[in-house]
Amino acid sequence: MRRDRTDRSPRRPRRLGRLALAATTVTTLWAASGCVVVHGEREVVPATTRADAARALAGFTAAYNKADATYDRSKDADRVSGPLAAIDGARLKAGHLGNPGGNPAHSALTFDDARFSIPAKAGWPRWFVADATANKGVPGSRWLLVFTRDTVREPWQAAYLTVLGAGDVPKFATDSAGWAQPVAADDPALAIEPRRLGRSYADYLRSGGETFAAGVHTSQWRAQREKYASRPGLARQYIDEPLSSGGYAPVGLRTADGGALVFFATHRFEKETAAAGTEIPSPGADVQALTTGEIGQSLTLEFVSNQVALDPPKGSGRGQVSVLGRVEGLTGAKGE
């Protein structure tokens, strides 16, 4: 799985339609006294059981491995959504074009030591976070996946994926029954409302500022862009935009210190323009597989990225948001 889709790679985030939520979900429970109706859109209930969460993780893993082995996007289309669907769907498309017979380097992904943070909440969509070790990547790191669904009739889909060091996964707040506590998209008690994180991050990457703490995915990421913005014969321009609709909606869990761990997505374009008399460096096979148009003087690369951040309590003295992890992938390219 590429580090550094159901909802496909968006061409323009402002055109993304809002995913229709289930208007009502009613579960009928038969009791000795008769029929009791629980309205899922009003009652605060756990998003799922831990056993069902484990089955969702196993179902995703099996589907992912089938898709990776065959480079066939249809094999896991009903198990992924949002940014993960866009990122990994593009990877599979490029892989299929290069190796239509399947992935010659396939190695099955497996998870171990899975832990589940399941929020109790009213309404839809419902979601939970799976936190596990994997047989790939940095040994000892934790893979965090957000699973979501919009009705009880749908399968759980993995929408977000990030990989953190074991010591970077925060302690989550829980209620008396051990269920996690979700944060609202417009929670005013946080340094930045979760719904505004994507826009704030895009603004920071463009203009800088003090909103986000220094780190690999913030100050160092901006410095790297500046370094490559202008090189002999080649200029690069960056445009960052938030993604927040449907399967790209941010989700967050309350942490024990009163802040939140928030998953959010962004969309960026990186345009390379060659100076007169020069050419765009020949892109790799994966880029060529996702490129439309003919590469002349410019090439615009399109990426979807999902981030996870620690959003501190407002007024806590730790006002800066820390971006702990970022997973991105090329989802398209256009030559001109």
pLDDT of residue 26: 27
pLDDT tens by residue, 103-137: 999 999 999 999 999 999 999 999 999 999 999 99
Residue 69 belongs to domain spanning: 13-335
User: 4 lies in a domain?
Assistant: no
5 in any annotated domain: no
pLDDT recorded at residue 319: 83
- The pLDDT of residue 41: 60
144 occurs within a structural domain: yes
Q: Of the ranges 81-95, 194-208, 228-242, which one carries the lowest mean pLDDT score?
A: 228-242
- Average pLDDT in the 196-219 region? 97
pLDDT band at residue 6, thresholds of 50, 70 and 90? very low
- CA 99 → CA 32, 36, 180, 210, 332, distances in Å? 60, 55, 43, 46, 18
pLDDT(39) > 60: no
Distance CA(270)–CA(268), nearest Å, equals 7
Average pLDDT across the chain, whole number? 88
The answer to the question of residue 7 being in a domain is no
Q: What percent of the chain has pLDDT over 70?
A: 88
Q: Please indicate, yes or no, if residue 185 is contained in any of the structural domains.
A: yes
Residue 298 lies in a domain: yes
Number of domains in the chain: 1
Q: What is the average per-residue pLDDT within 300-309?
A: 98
Kindly report the pTM of this predicted structure.
0.86
160-207 pLDDT, tens digit each: 999 999 999 999 999 999 999 999 999 999 999 999 999 999 999 999
What is the Cα–Cα distance from 2 to 53, expressed in whole angstroms? 24
Taking a C-beta distance cutoff of 8 angstroms, is the pair 159, 146 a contact? yes
Residue 6 within any structural domain of the chain = no
2 belongs to a structural domain: no
Predicted confidence band at 50 (pLDDT cuts at 50, 70, 90)? very high
Look at phi and psi of residue 226 and say left if phi exceeds 0, alpha if psi is from -120 to 50, else beta: alpha
* pLDDT at 31 exceeding the cut of 60: no
